[in-house]
Structure 1
Amino acid sequence: MHSSRIRRASVLLLAGAVAALGLAGCSTTDAGGAPTGSKTIGVSIADQKSLFYIAAADGMKAAAEEAGYTLVLESADNDATRQVNQVQNLLTQQVGVLIYTPQDATAAGAGVRLANDAGVPVVALDQKPETDDVEISTFIATDSVKAAYDVCTWMFEQMGGEGDIAVLQGPLGATAELQRTEGCKKALAENPGINAVQWESAGWDETQAFDTTQNILTAHPELKAVFGESDAMALGAAKAAQQAGRTGMVFAGIDGFPTMFTAISDGLTQATMAQQPYMMGKLAVENAIQLLEGGADLPQDQYQDAVLVTGDNVAENDPTKFYGPEAARN
């Protein structure tokens, strides 16, 4: 994880790159032409590969269309420099509000600073800027501390309150990683019989989690459970254990992906904390409209609860409730 000094230097370098490159970012526009005026909402999102971000974007589009607002959406494809350039591009199109889901903390600080300098309010979604010298109008995210605490507590109960576990973390220093690690550590502190024998970052990625878990299983033959701070990592861990012939283990994650619902139904994994990205995307647009219409009195943080889904209730929960209509196709 980078130090705050290095991260600050990276922010300044990115801001300088924006000034030099101008409109170098590529744009995906959901409405024809370059919209201007107070009914235009700009969106810069980290990627459109993650099911979470796809669902959030779908919720934004639905809410904007319903309200008669224009939405200009750009995806950074997980490239921080590209994303900051795209923010500059959106600002030149005179968007009234920026909805921002930054790729990382560096992009968060630099992108929000550009919006602040342009006098454009920012609705942050999922990742909060890790710097004190920028302003956001509101921050919308899952209550990741509570989600991790709840699912880890459930997992420890399934283990009978004792045994060894491993934790697969997201990118170290990311907002969600820090909060989910905090939540699980809180549950560990309340369960002295549970021993976390290994903590490893697997970057939210299923393949990386598969490879990492193979090594963990070899090093810890008595391992009873793996907590993945994302569903993708929990799935990768479960598949590694399945390949290794390790049965009777517990695998839990956070996300609520439709694929995780299927895995729980099939018995490959045991639990997930289902987030609500479709609803959160809609909420972001509703907040943006409030800001545009001058009547907004928004809370600084808007943390949304996740729902514990297990083998006992998976049949009663519909993935489209969490990930929108498109979830039915996944």
Structure 2
Amino acid sequence: MWAAVCAALTIGVSGLAHAADKTTLVVMIRGLDNPYHADYAAGAKALGKALDLPVDVLSSEGNSQKQFSDLKAEIAKTGGNMVVNVDPNEGPDVVPIAKMLESAGVYWVSWWNKPDDIKVEDYPHWVAHISFDAVGQGYFNAKELFKTFKTPNQGTIIAIQGMLSNNAAIDRFKGLQKALKEYPNVKLVQWEAADWDTNKSYEITKQLLSAHPDVDGVWSANDNMALGSIAALKEVGKSGQVKVSGTDGIPDAFDAIKEGTMSSTAYDDARYQAQLGLSMALAAKSGKLDVKATPHKYRAFLIPGAQVTPQNVDQIKAGVGTMPTYDLKNFYARWVAEIK
């Protein structure tokens, strides 16, 4: 059976379009104000154009209830003739989303957020749960930040967390904690959650800098918040002297790395995320991908992001300036590890 599934993965996007005639491609994201999430929409629209399929973007604006009501309305609008690629607002949101989509018979793929005790296999239309290696990202960016201290790998930091019930935020912070254990001469003196918000991060960083004016670095769980921290550091005359780390790889983060205010980031290609998830869901809907026969390691898995430092930022930035043409024939081409 699995050999047949693998053979089916060689289909091209034109075959998917024919099999899922006028199925609506739906992406559920947090908000278009974040360039990373805006790339979800851009990737979906590019795929929709290639397949001649309609695309709807549902933006929760960080409100889980809006996320649920928008999804319910979309199911009614399309009559369930849709596939979904969703970045749930928070981990606990996965179960209500799953129940709605299962009731409607809609195939879907999730990213980032999923409670550990919720199993993909328990929902027949849940094709896969995929994530970037968030622990590895938090760990990498912490180590890069530590290198920038006046005395490398020796000093103090403050940390700006994301949404506390968000899996990416939780795992990136685990990566920071892993790095702190390996570098005992670096101390985390205080951390606060800024919920992925630039303005909130700016205000929190100002408060933390007032309490800890001599910190050597600021670890941030994403680039949007890192930019808020950079603005706060600039206000007290320490921009560039005290560097900030991030994750996501938004354009402003690349510029900040080039300017010397950020130490590093990790580029997560949300355009690929959208196209991969939607293509997998379309293949399942058309019968080209047998979800039930797919092994667990391909139902819940990690893919890599790109580590961005001052040494390679120009190369990475040049590569993300235009919409790539992705290889969507092998859904597992970037598979790194199983999520158990």
Identity of aligned residues (%): 25
1:287 is matched with which residue?
280
Match of 2:63 among 79, 82, 99: 79
Match of 2:237 among 222, 242, 245: 245
SS at match of 1:284: helix
Match of 1:266 among 256, 259, 262: 259
Match of 1:205 among 188, 197, 202: 197
SS at match of 1:270: strand
**Larger RCO: 1 or 2 (CA < 8 Å, sep 6+):** 2
| Partner amino acid, structure 2, of 1:162 | Q
1:33 is matched with which residue?
none
Match of 2:179 among 157, 176, 187: 187
SS at match of 2:219: strand
| Partner amino acid, structure 1, of 2:137 | A
Following TM superposition, by how much is the alpha carbon of 1:323 offset from its aligned partner in structure 2, in angstroms?
7.9
2:314 is matched with which residue?
315
Unaligned runs of 5+ in 2: 1-19, 325-340
1:10 is matched with which residue?
none
Following TM superposition, by how much is the alpha carbon of 1:276 offset from its aligned partner in structure 2, in angstroms?
1.0
1-structure distance, mates of 2:281, 2:50: 14
Report if aligned partners of 1:42, 1:95 keep a CA contact under 8 Å in 2: no
Match of 1:139 among 129, 146, 162: 129
More displaced 10-residue stretch of structure 1: 264-273 or 291-300: 291-300
Following TM superposition, by how much is the alpha carbon of 1:322 offset from its aligned partner in structure 2, in angstroms?
7.5
2-structure distance, mates of 1:199, 1:148: 14
RMSD: 2.3
Q: 1:118 to 1:59 in 2, by over 3 A?
A: same
2-structure distance, mates of 1:246, 1:41: 46
Report if aligned partners of 1:166, 1:198 keep a CA contact under 8 Å in 2: yes
2-structure distance, mates of 1:127, 1:286: 20
1:305 is matched with which residue?
304
1:54 is matched with which residue?
38
Unaligned runs of 5+ in 1: 1-35, 326-330
* TM-score using structure 1 length: 0.80
1:88 is matched with which residue?
72
1-structure distance, mates of 2:57, 2:210: 45
Q: Which runs of 4+ in 1 moved over 6 A?
A: none
SS at match of 2:265: strand
Cα distance per residue 1:152-171 (max 9 Å; x no partner): 12222333111101110001
Q: 1:82 to 1:221 in 2, by over 3 A?
A: closer
| Partner amino acid, structure 2, of 1:170 | G
1:158 is matched with which residue?
148
Q: 1:304 to 1:198 in 2, by over 3 A?
A: same
SS at match of 1:49: coil
More displaced 10-residue stretch of structure 1: 54-63 or 265-274: 265-274
